[in-house]
């Protein structure tokens, strides 16, 4: 006996259990967002019925939730239970299990319903996947969160749904889809999701975005050669220029030549060759690149944070 030929008890029970499980996880999201009772129930309805309504709209039939009151009332009951149960609200891991169970159940029932309406295996697999993840996307949008389907820092979410829906397509192809193998496919998707939660299994991300310099080459023609501008580029006109030197007669030192000697003085000596002793907190150690030459007599600047220029 095929799964579609069953009187509908197995598939009906799977749908109700999946709706209730998804409603519990959606209600927990509303409580965590500090919504009122109306907002919690609305999120429970969105998660529990969103995927199924989308499935029926794609197929082109009236959603069962609008004709069967039990489909509509199950999320309300789940939302109220979570809203008024303080002990249940502190069991966050339990809601992950509810979400995983609903993910596996909806991926199987969505694909099975698509096959019942004559869709091909590819379309049935896609519709089963959309049924499993559609409600979670709607609730995340209402709660102003990024859906877990799109987050790289969340454990496997899309892959278990694909495994459940794809398993139904494979069983259908080999004519093995019945009232026993369909729950087995849902159990497989549920187990994969639980293992991903326990072992933190995640899908890979783009390596190029994490390393923005990957694949980029440096073109030497776009930048001047090293040293072409000299160590004192941007400090002003060279010594002897007709332009008025900045800073009252102080001009930058010319670029060092091959025969130039290293500047001497107490502030130009290496740190290891300076005289020992405690340095004043007002003393400065000038950068050798910013050495300047003084035209005219020696100028002295006074103040607690300066020293004579020589």
- 0.85 cut: is pTM over it? no
Per-residue pLDDT of the chain (310 residues; tens, 9 = 90+): 555 554 477 788 889 999 999 999 999 999 999 999 999 999 999 999 999 999 999 999 999 999 999 999 999 999 999 999 988 888 888 999 999 999 999 999 999 999 989 999 999 999 999 999 999 999 999 999 999 888 887 889 999 999 999 999 999 999 898 888 999 999 999 999 999 999 999 988 777 766 656 555 544 455 555 554 545 444 455 555 455 455 445 555 555 555 555 555 554 545 444 455 555 454 455 555 445 454 555 555 555 544 455 4
> Phi, psi (5° rounding) for residue 309?
-90, 130
- Residue found by looking up tokens 């069962």 in the block: 64
Task: Please state, in angstroms and rounded to a whole number, the distance separating the CA atoms of residues 175 and 74.
Answer: 33
Q: 195: which 2 tokens?
A: 């293992």
Cβ-proximal residues to 279 (8 Å cutoff; 6+ apart), any chain? none
Q: DSSP letter string over 23-86?
A: HHHHHHHHHHTT--HHHHHHHHHHHHHHHHHHHHHHHTS--GGGT-HHHHHHHHHHHHHHHH-H
294: helix, coil or strand? strand
73-to-112, 172, 259 alpha-carbon distances in Å: 23, 32, 93
For the chain, state the CA radius of gyration: 36
CA–CA distance, 117 with 2 (Å, rounded to integer): 14
């Amino acid at each position: 006996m095929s799964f579609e030929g069953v009187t509908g008890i197995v598939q009906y029970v799977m749908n109700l259990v999946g709706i209730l499980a998804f409603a519990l996880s959606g209600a927990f999201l509303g409580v965590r967002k500090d919504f009122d009772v109306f907002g919690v129930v609305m999120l429970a309805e969105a998660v529990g019925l969103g995927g199924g309504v989308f499935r029926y709209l794609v197929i082109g039939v009236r959603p069962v939730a609008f004709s069967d009151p039990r489909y509509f009332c199950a999320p309300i009951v789940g939302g109220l239970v979570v809203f008024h149960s303080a002990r249940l609200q502190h069991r966050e891991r339990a809601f992950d299990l509810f979400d995983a169970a609903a993910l596996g159940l909806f991926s199987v029932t969505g694909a099975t319903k698509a096959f019942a309406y004559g869709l091909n295996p590819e379309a049935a697999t896609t519709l089963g996947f959309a049924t499993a993840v559609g409600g979670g996307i709607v609730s995340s949008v209402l709660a102003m969160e990024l859906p877990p389907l799109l987050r790289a820092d969340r454990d496997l979410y899309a892959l278990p749904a694909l495994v459940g829906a794809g398993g139904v397509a494979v069983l259908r192809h080999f004519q093995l889809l019945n009232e026993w193998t369909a729950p087995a496919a849902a159990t497989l998707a549920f187990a994969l999701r639980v293992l991903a939660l326990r072992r933190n299994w995640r899908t890979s991300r783009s390596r190029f975005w994490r390393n923005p310099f990957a694949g980029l080459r440096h073109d030497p023609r776009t930048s001047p050669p090293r040293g072409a501008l000299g160590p004192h580029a941007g400090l002003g006109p060279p010594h002897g220029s007709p332009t008025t030197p900045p800073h009252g007669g102080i001009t930058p030192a010319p670029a060092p030549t091959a025969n130039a000697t290293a500047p001497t003085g107490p502030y130009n000596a290496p740190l290891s060759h300076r005289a020992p002793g405690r340095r004043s907190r007002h003393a400065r150690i000038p950068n050798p690149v910013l050495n300047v030459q003084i035209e005219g007599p020696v100028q002295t600047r006074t103040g607690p944070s300066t020293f004579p220029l020589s």
